[in-house]
Structure 1
């Protein structure tokens, strides 16, 4: 008969031999699952990154379009104001010329017209500066 110590060694060798390949397959399976999980997370992160970038690009394009239309509207308004002021300056010039030709003792009216003309020119210069700043 075999002693008790020898039986347990033979039994443990058999269980090690039986569990050896199954443990390897089990570990290989888990390593494979973990690798697939890491790859899925990486792929999903890249997908989200591309999606956020495309949304940001679309939003920035929309904002640029709004800014461009606003800029063009402001330029149009300022251009019309400048044209109106130029017409006003021209009419003041004509009036001033007429007043100079007909002036005798009415120098006070002439001075008032010069003052008004000077103010209109200042406003015209200010508008031109604003247009230059916008451009």
Structure 2
């Protein structure tokens, strides 16, 4: 029986040793799987946040471009309106200055002794201007 006791002691030592070895391997596998899951989750979160950041940046760029284009159109239209307004005002001022110059010339001519000649010249000058304007209108119509 001694042999039986020795065999049974040997078997129980072997089964205890194997249990301990088996206990470490599943634990290491379990920890490894958890590390992979955590790493995968972190990688997925990083990729997702990068994608969100790119999408938000692209959306903001589109909105900014649209706003800049609208502002440019508004600016151009205001500038065009101001230019046309100022051009009209300058034309009116030019007409007033021309009329004032003619009046000054007429007054200067009247101050001289030769009033009759200057009045005749002024009248003839106005008639020539009228004829010139009529000719310009005729040319415009022909074009």
TM-score under structure 1 length normalisation: 0.67
Q: Which has the larger radius of gyration?
A: 2
Gaps of at least 5 residues in structure 2 are 1-8, 114-143
- The residue that corresponds to 1:97 in the other structure is 105
Query: Residue deviations 1:14-59, cap 9 Å, x none?
Result: 2112222222222112211110110000011011011111111111
* Superposition CA RMSD, Å: 2.4
- The residue that corresponds to 2:46 in the other structure is 38
Measure, in 2, the Cα distance between the counterparts of 1:15 and 1:61: 69
Q: Choose which of 48, 63, 70 in structure 2 pairs with 1:55.
A: 63
Q: Choose which of 1, 7, 13 in structure 1 pairs with 2:21.
A: 13
Give the length in aligned residue pairs: 104
Task: Identify the structure with bigger relative contact order (alpha carbons < 8 Å, sequence gap 6+).
Answer: 1
Measure, in 1, the Cα distance between the counterparts of 2:95 and 2:16: 115
Measure, in 1, the Cα distance between the counterparts of 2:93 and 2:16: 112
Gaps of at least 5 residues in structure 1 are 106-135
Partner secondary structure for residue 68 of structure 1: helix
Measure, in 2, the Cα distance between the counterparts of 1:87 and 1:61: 39
- Matching of residue 69 in structure 1 with residue 81 in structure 2: no
- 1:16-31 mapped onto 2 (5 Å cutoff): 16-31=24-39
TM-score under structure 2 length normalisation: 0.64
Measure, in 2, the Cα distance between the counterparts of 1:69 and 1:81: 18
